[in-house]
């Protein structure tokens, strides 16, 4: 069960955190993994997968730049002939209210988190239409409940859920399924970097505090998000489209 044998899976931000966990798991389950990432260091993830599993490729790509995305997708099609799975995982965060969020920061968030997803959908769907496929977009619990100091970030993740529904509706007849995942707090290198930057000397204290905001009492693991993404892209989920899945240790339902 939950195999993706011989599928071509494009994973943005696939070189770290949740994206790395998705890339690794999908390769283990039989997919050819195409990692798109702006960071050159992410090539090491593709190399690691190839050393242990096989079938991973790295493509340096700034998803906010449409010509770059189109060129990378064209390269993937030339090498692999099709795209069966698209995981829109790449994104950036921001802390601030509407009052103290600058126009520059707002535009930066929109360009990566919203336009980046649009660019990847726009470039990939024409090829997915040929024989169907599965799309999973990474949203956030920030799109579902009010969070302090997350104005721009929440706006972008709300847009992702809306785009997920629109794509699901528009491309049903092409056997393209579109779903989104809304994680709560997940322990990734980003979290460690955020704590080190904003709470020097108090990292452990703040990590414990943030962990306890989930009713389950801990942060999620990247691998747990990856398992949900795998299910949604597998044949076992063939009756599922147009849905958002909170995976949050009870944060949305048990805190409200």
What are the catalytic residues?
A: 153
Residues 6+ apart with CB under 8 A from 52: none
Q: Rounded distance, CA 29 to CA 53, Å?
A: 10
Q: Where are the beta strands (DSSP E) in the chain?
A: 8-12, 32-37, 56-60, 85-88, 133-138, 176-183, 244-247
Q: How many CA atoms lie within 13 A of 107 on its CB side?
A: 3
Contact between 37 and 15 (Cβ < 8 Å): yes
Q: Rounded distance, CA 115 to CA 108, Å?
A: 10
The neighbour count for residue 4, using CB atoms within 10 Å, is 23
Q: Which of 36, 66, 230 is nearest to 134 (CA)?
A: 230
Q: Rounded distance, CA 45 to CA 12, Å?
A: 13
């Amino acid at each position: 069960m939950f195999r993706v044998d011989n599928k071509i899976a494009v994973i943005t931000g696939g070189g770290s955190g949740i994206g790395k966990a998705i890339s690794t798991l999908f390769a283990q389950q039989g997919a050819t993994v195409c990692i798109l990432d702006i960071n050159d260091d992410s090539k090491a993830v593709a190399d690691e997968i190839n050393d242990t599993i096989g079938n991973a490729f790295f493509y340096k790509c700034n998803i906010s730049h449409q010509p770059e995305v189109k060129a990378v997708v064209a390269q993937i099609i030339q090498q692999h002939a099709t795209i069966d799975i698209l995981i829109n995982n790449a994104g950036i965060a921001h802390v601030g209210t509407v009052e103290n969020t600058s126009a520059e920061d707002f535009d930066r968030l929109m360009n990566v988190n919203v336009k980046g997803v649009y660019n990847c959908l726009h470039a990939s769907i024409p090829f997915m239409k040929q024989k169907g496929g599965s799309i999973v977009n990474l949203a956030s619990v920030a799109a579902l409940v009010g969070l302090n100091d997350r104005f721009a970030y929440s706006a972008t993740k709300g847009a992702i859920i809306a785009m997920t529904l629109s794509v699901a509706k528009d491309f049903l007849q092409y056997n393209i399924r579109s779903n989104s995942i809304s994680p709560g707090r997940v322990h990734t290198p980003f979290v460690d970097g955020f704590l080190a930057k904003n709470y020097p000397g108090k990292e452990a204290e703040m990590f414990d505090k943030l962990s306890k905001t989930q009713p389950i009492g801990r942060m999620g693991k990247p691998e747990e998000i990856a398992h949900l993404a795998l299910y949604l892209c597998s044949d076992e989920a063939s009756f599922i489209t147009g849905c958002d899945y909170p995976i949050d240790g009870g944060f949305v339902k048990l805190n409200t």
